[in-house]
Structure 1
């Protein structure tokens, strides 16, 4: 079976504009200084809870658990709607269609909460292609723990898979799971490509189907 599992934010979609807006709406409500787009982008990858922790630290709120829970709830009320400013990366939809035509089974492994994940999959039409999903709420563990990735692979009925992601979190997840990793270099990573675990690297989704074909042909050889 040719199984491929994708990350979502920074891999299939650029959600940083909507995450930035939601965080700043919370800060405005609280009468606090807003964060920059670059800061918001750098906070993405380990889920909404970590993002809010980083926002709180940036604006000097400390790490009080009750305050974190309150601000996270406010953040989710702003973020759990249709994505207004999020964009699909160039070539993604064509690549997914080509992979489907190649009889690839595809799933999703993300640290995004379940509701915005579900909304994004429907909004952008990814639910047609990605049959199995692990979000931040599917298991007690979250990436970079390998459990969510292995969970999706099991749901796909795959003993092995190629994981496609963009970040240090994704690379660590794949490495800990013992899964080959295809790094999309135009996402949210902060580390040089040469210093990250990966089997392949690509900068446009037009390249992914051929990369996948090469990967699975080498496995069969």
Structure 2
């Protein structure tokens, strides 16, 4: 059993429920309307919600006659607003098993593809900030899309903050596993309800159905 110097966690799908796809689609529709596109092709909505790259965003905006920067500013602002409203209304919540993170002796951090400001809100709103020594999300810019997972950029920044070489990253997507591998650390894939049947083309170091299972693995416990 590896003795880890730190444990890092994804945010959406690990600490809190992931955003609803339709909520993200509506925020994206609103962004298009804000920059003057009232009738948007569904394939463009789907591409953005699925996780658009910089090149894909630029091509999409070119097809719509838009400048990518103001469109993306509107999309990120409205997407974040929709997320905060979902948390405040109770439509999105924190998973019950997050409290087990307190059982870990290692310093912990959060690394997310969500906005840094949204992650900050989540940690404060749910009282999770004391659990984590560092946290990273991406800035609300077009350029930040180049840095999101599976790019290990923010994982490496968190590891530097924690002065850790041996670490475990806990996530719920294939890109989390790939990012951990690129950062040279182990990964744990949590099969929450939304990804229980996911088929991965990469193999995580560990798998579990809950955070409690992962914490037991880190502690070397089988109970």
TM-score bracket relative to the smaller structure: 0.7 to 0.9
Q: 2:191 aligns with which of 170, 176, 185?
A: 185
Q: 1:25 aligns with which of 30, 35, 42?
A: 30
Show structure 1 runs of 5+ residues with no match. Answer: none
Q: Secondary structure at the match of 2:214?
A: helix
Instruction: Note if 1:136 corresponds to 2:138.
Output: yes
Instruction: Note if 1:16 corresponds to 2:17.
Output: no
Cα shift readout 1:33-81 (whole Å, capped 9, x = no counterpart): 4759x9479614xxxx649956984xx86386x5221211111231333
TM-score, structure 2 as length reference? 0.72
Change (3 A) 1:190 1:108: same
For residues 109-188 of structure 1, the aligned pairs below 5 Å read 109-137=111-139, 141-186=147-192, 187=194
Tell me the equivalent position of 2:63.
62
Runs of 4+ displaced beyond 4 Å: 51-57, 187-191
- The 8 Å contact of residues 166 and 189 in structure 1, kept in 2 or not, is answered as no
Tell me the equivalent position of 2:85.
84
Change (3 A) 1:129 1:118: same
CA distance in structure 2 between the aligned counterparts of 1:132 and 1:182, rounded to whole angstroms? 19
Alignment RMSD, CA only?
A: 3.7
Following superposition, the deviation at residue 107 of structure 1 comes to 0.2
CA distance in structure 2 between the aligned counterparts of 1:43 and 1:56, rounded to whole angstroms? 16
- The 8 Å contact of residues 80 and 115 in structure 2, kept in 1 or not, is answered as no
Following superposition, the deviation at residue 180 of structure 1 comes to 0.7
TM-score, structure 1 as length reference? 0.73
Q: Secondary structure at the match of 1:84?
A: helix
Aligned length: 204
Change (3 A) 1:41 1:147: closer
